[in-house]
């Protein structure tokens, strides 16, 4: 690993922490934010493993320095899965298809599935009771995330930053 890559990955950790802790809107059973942008960029530039490390570190650092409730390792697992899914964007030709796959996986499996389970385990609010509100947010955010990530990554390609 060279110094430039290490600095870029550290920058993505910082961007993820800032986006998660300061630019998002936390509600009792969901959070609305833009953390998908730095994670998608990190995955696009560096692939699976670095994206997973960035996501995991950002979750742990954010939870330690700027807690929004008790630390729960399930959310770190969710972050690792999100890093893994965005890591598959690296070097792909049909970018839109892979963005859709990553966003659907993150939205439906990780956020709606696992994160709802983690909240149920932490607070006992009832998995099925939280699903409707979280599903509505997910339905709204899926197209927004797909369009935003696609536009950002196309801009990166046009500027020859990859």
Do residues 83 and 53 lie in contact, with contact meaning Cβ atoms separated by under 8 Å?
Answer: yes
Do residues 62 and 26 lie in contact, with contact meaning Cβ atoms separated by under 8 Å?
Answer: no
CA 51, 33, 59, 139 torsion-angle sign: negative
For the ranges 6-10, 62-66, 93-97, 125-129, the lowest mean pLDDT is seen at: 125-129
Residue 27 has pLDDT above 80, yes or no: no
Residue 1 has pLDDT above 80, yes or no: no
Could you state, in order of their start, the residue ranges of all structural domains in the chain? 3-158
CA-CA distances (angstroms) from residue 55 to 14, 22, 60, 77? Answer: 10, 16, 9, 9
For residue 31, the cross-strand partners are 26
Residue 156 has pLDDT above 70, yes or no: yes
Do residues 127 and 117 lie in contact, with contact meaning Cβ atoms separated by under 8 Å?
Answer: yes
- Give residue 94's region: left, alpha or beta (phi > 0; psi -120 to 50): beta
Residue 21 has pLDDT above 90, yes or no: no
Paired sense of beta strands 25-26 and 31-32, if any = antiparallel
As its CATH architecture, domain 3-158 has: Orthogonal Bundle (1.10)
pLDDT band at 29; cut points 50, 70, 90: low
């Amino acid at each position: 690993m060279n110094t430039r890559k290490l600095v870029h990955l550290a920058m993505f950790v910082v961007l993820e922490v800032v986006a998660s802790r300061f630019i998002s809107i936390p509600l009792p059973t969901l959070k609305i934010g833009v953390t998908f942008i730095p994670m998608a960029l990190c995955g696009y530039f560096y692939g699976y493993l670095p994206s997973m490390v960035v996501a995991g570190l950002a979750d742990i650092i954010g939870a330690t320095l700027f807690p929004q409730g008790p630390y729960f390792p399930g959310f770190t697992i969710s972050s690792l899965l999100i890093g893994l899914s965005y890591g598959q964007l690296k070097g792909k030709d049909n970018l839109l298809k892979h963005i859709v796959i990553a966003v659907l996986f993150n939205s439906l499996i990780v956020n709606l599935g696992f994160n709802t389970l983690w909240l149920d385990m932490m607070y006992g609010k009832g998995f099925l009771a939280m699903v409707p509100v979280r599903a509505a947010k997910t339905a709204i955010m899926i197209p927004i995330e797909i369009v935003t990530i696609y536009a950002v990554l196309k801009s990166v390609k046009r500027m020859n930053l990859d």
